[in-house]
Structure 1
Amino acid sequence: MSFRCTLSDEHVIERPVLLVPPADTHKYARGSAMAFSGPALRTGASRLTAQAALAVGAGLVTLVGEYEALKEHAAHVTAIMLREADADLTVVDDRVRAAAIGPGAGISSETRETVMHLLTKGLPLVLDADAITSFADNPAELFEQIHDQVVLTPHEGEFARLFPAIDLADRLTAARLAADVSGAVVLLKGPETVVAAPDGRLAINRHASPWLATAGSGDVLAGLICGVLAQGNTAFEAACIAAWLHGDIGVRGGPGLTADRMADLIPLVLAGCLGDGNAHDTRPRP
């Protein structure tokens, strides 16, 4: 485990502690993660996800997709591996510790099929954006296959499509009910992000910034969760840790923050989580 997550008595997520890897570690020991790409001309979102997973500490990250999409990725990434998808997902071998799908994937039967196939493999999984909305017509199909190491990351619109019977007026209750109904950890995005587990655990992240309200920000959050999952944290822990780290990116980035700059801020965020964090925290104090 590379992070330790703590909650206050009020279930508020506190700054996680980053644990230094042992001297004899290697890339597979730090965790292998996968992000599933969208089609050609829609690759940016999944690339943000992969870049965040790598920056947050996964030892190896692979983008999986169609050949034409991978050619686009190849023009932008160097440290991230590229693998062509196949119908049986043989690319997902037993070294893969976590995967993320949804950003830029497209709302389609193909996305549904890939999600269902990934669920049969039982590995920790982040379902975001199009991977959620692709099941809007039949949420029960998804819920029947979900296990407790799946993280759903809806904003309120996606939440309403997947859980139409749950009232969002009380966000804490809504997230808890959704986790119970789906069997997944549910991270409900918003100014105060709520994380709920199917066993009843609940957490709230208040460490955030309105500068995070920019296109692609959620794709970065999906990558943070995936990267933390790949390092051995449980789904609930990973969602809590990633919510705080994502919020800290917003605090540090400030005005003018865009999603394609967020990965560059992750090393500063992580440095602030080492030890007591004070020696590495360069933010101005009131």
Structure 2
Amino acid sequence: MGESASSWRFDAIGTVWEVVTVEPLPEPARDRVRGRIEAFDRSWSRFRKDSVVTRLARAGGEVPLPDDAGPMLDALAAVWEATDGAVNPLVGRSLEALGYDARYSLVDRGAVAAPPDWRRLLAWDDERLMLSSAATIDVGALGKGRLVDIVLDVVCDETAGDVTVDAGGDLAVRGTPQRIGLEHPFDPRRAIGVWEVTDAALCASAVTRRAWPSATGTTLHHVLDARTGQPVRTIAATWAVARDAMTADAVATALFFDGGPRLAHERGVEWVRMTTDGRAEWSPGCSAELFLRTDNVER
């Protein structure tokens, strides 16, 4: 964006947001953004006592279908299938068992696999969300991307011209192309490359974000293989560019597993990922500019 662009920064859902527009966003529009984020959080947060997710986690049950449930759960089902069950919307209890719980205890109580038969336990139709027994829904695999799309739609309805919505590195751009640095997962002072994003979204995930030590001295983090309840150990970071942020976020999560590249190809998503031993991989025709040694890359 040009030098005259206006930036609005605020905290929400545990991260820093920045909304950049040509003109300052009016206060009523900001209120609409805050309202949509609050409504989303009140439905899907594992960290607040009054959320729909928390209520269902106690004993299961049936509730009116929350906004955005259908698109997100349908997309999660596709990622679950593509990753052979490694991504699972009932992974919440697995995260809690490792200490990533509502109290942020960060106390490892042992790995717990997510229910492999989640499709039998969790169901939804046009009106209802149903959980047949106590379990914790977690939409972290793509939820922030979905919320970026929601906020982008609100902002674009309220203002003309270029718009960028950035939620802690998951972002969507409308209008003038933006060059986005790809933060090195092992050194936040460095970038492994730059990606120019035009009328699209870029989402990233890294095992170095939301990481904490276990009692045995190993490092735990929030990217789990739901089949084992254990953190992934082979992929360090992923980046994906798609037409919308929910798709980019979903693919960025899937790329931690073997089925991710295939899902990206099927959805027309470009991607980059870095392994924990420092190698880089990327999709055919990927437009990112990567700053890598030629002996440390893999197509």
Output the TM-score relative to the length of structure 1. Answer: 0.28
Asked which structure has the greater RCO (Cα within 8 Å, sep 6+), the reply is: 1
Q: Which has the higher helix share?
A: 1
Q: Which has the higher strand share?
A: 2
Output the TM-score relative to the length of structure 2. Answer: 0.27
